[in-house]
Amino acid sequence: MESGNKTQISKFLLLGLSEEPEVQPLVFGLFLSMYLITVFGNLLIILAISSDSQLHTPMYFFLSNLSFVDICFTSTTIPKMLWNIQTQSEVITYAGCITQIYFYILFATLDDILLSVMAYDRFVAICHPLHYTVIMNPRLCGLLVLMSWIVNAMYSLLHTLMVLRLSFCPDLEIPHFFCELYQLVQLASSDTFLNSMMMYLAALLMAGGPFAGILYSYSKIVSCICRISSIQGKYKAFSTCASHLCVVSLFYCTVLGVYFTSAVTHSSHSSAIASVMYTMVTPMLNPFIYSLRNKDIKRALRKFFWMAATRNQLSWD
């Protein structure tokens, strides 16, 4: 198809997880529940951290940013999916699809980068405790988050511009519940060699780089913990990074699970179902992992609810 035909594209069709009408109410209820739990859980983490001055530390500053990104990440794909199910429509506009790709890549890679930044924070806290406040000062923490946003915004823009150069057939059917970059590139009617090369090279840098940083940080952390003489000291040191390690394991295991599912089955439907793990399940479980395994977060949440209840009681009086 000639590149001039790109102007005729007005919409795509998202086939979703299932085309069976009797399954749609179940899918709608399940995803709506998961989405509300994700938003509410991560929002509670943000409110608890912001309302408790004792949690105004680098670790919780990064955690609040991670919770915000998780809310944005799920909000990029799930509301549109729920809307399509409710209206019994499969349509997403071309502009909406391109916008969804941009923000999906932005928040997915931000998740990855923030996890590596949090690993570095734990490395400094455990391996250099006496210099922690000097190294992880507010200026550096703010700069790390700001640079993460800038770099990922440019990275996402690059992929989006690469998609804009492709040609597509009108009313193209995407076998997914959102506009996933790989699926869209595979369905293009023009040459996609440059896009494919860019995806693999960018994935190597933007996914492999942070993962290597996490592995390096934790190798140093484990080395430092092994040098601690007392068992109690080892347990205390490990407990400070246990929640983060659980979140990192969950994130990378689900992403690798999606990759291997796609590679083994070569089924777009199986890939779409597997994608639910890192687009919905991981952001939903993150608040539970941090709140259930963290005494400071649980204390802050109790304090937040007590303050809210007291304020409500005073307003009634």
In the prediction, which pLDDT does 3 show?
42
> Which strands form 172-174's sheet, in the order they lie side by side?
91-93, 11-14, 172-174
In the prediction, which pLDDT does 46 show?
93
Q: What is the domain partition of the chain in residue ranges?
A: 10-300
In the prediction, which pLDDT does 83 show?
93
Distances in whole angstroms, Cα of residue 173 to Cα of each of 155, 161, 312? 26, 21, 50
**3-state secondary structure at position 14:** strand
In the prediction, which pLDDT does 23 show?
85
In the prediction, which pLDDT does 67 show?
94
Per the CB < 8 A criterion, the answer to whether 106 and 156 are in contact is: yes
Tell me which amino acid residue 146 is: L
In the prediction, which pLDDT does 7 show?
45
Q: Which residues pair with 13 in a beta bridge?
A: 91, 173
- R_g (Cα) of the chain, nearest Å: 22
CATH hierarchy code of domain 10-300: 1.20.1070.10
Whole-model pTM? 0.89
Q: What is the pLDDT along the chain (317 residues), one digit of tens a residue?
A: 344 344 457 788 888 887 777 888 898 999 999 999 999 999 999 998 998 888 899 999 999 999 999 999 999 999 999 999 999 888 999 999 999 999 999 999 999 999 999 999 999 999 998 999 999 999 999 999 999 999 999 999 999 999 998 888 877 888 888 998 888 888 888 888 888 888 888 878 888 889 899 999 999 999 998 888 888 878 877 887 888 888 888 888 877 776 666 656 556 666 777 778 878 888 998 888 887 767 778 888 888 778 777 776 666 65
Per the CB < 8 A criterion, the answer to whether 78 and 37 are in contact is: no
In the prediction, which pLDDT does 4 show?
39
In the prediction, which pLDDT does 262 show?
61
Q: Work out the number of other CB atoms within 10 angstroms of the CB of residue 106.
A: 23
In the prediction, which pLDDT does 30 show?
92
In the prediction, which pLDDT does 267 show?
60
In the prediction, which pLDDT does 266 show?
55
